[in-house]
């Protein structure tokens, strides 16, 4: 499986674990956010480190 498909599968799997409780889901949503950033090749502007200081 290519990296894009692997990341998407991991995101989909994590989304199945979301409970709807914002506090319980915080870590899951953070993991999903980080994987989606990798998937989309996005990181905060002027940052050489992914997602440090983006507030998520």
Quick: pLDDT tens for 5-53.
Answer: 999 999 999 999 999 999 999 999 999 998 998 888 776 555 555 555 5
Q: Return d(Cα 9, Cα 39) in angstroms, integer.
A: 11
Q: Which long-range contacts link 34-43 to residues 24+ away (Cβ below 8 Å)? A: 35/7, 35/10, 35/11, 36/11, 38/7, 39/4, 39/7, 39/8, 39/11
For residue 54, pLDDT beyond 70: no
Instruction: Provide the domain count of the chain.
Output: 1
For the entire predicted model, the pTM comes to 0.71
Residue ranges making up the domain that contains 33: 1-56
Q: Which residues contact 19 (CB under 8 A, 6 or more apart)?
A: 25
Largest CA distance in the chain: 34
């Amino acid at each position: 499986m290519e990296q894009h498909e692997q990341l998407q599968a991991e995101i989909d799997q994590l989304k199945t674990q979301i409970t709807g409780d914002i506090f319980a889901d915080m870590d899951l949503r953070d993991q999903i956010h980080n994987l989606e950033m990798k998937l989309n090749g996005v990181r905060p502007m002027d940052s050489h480190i992914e997602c440090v200081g983006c507030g998520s």
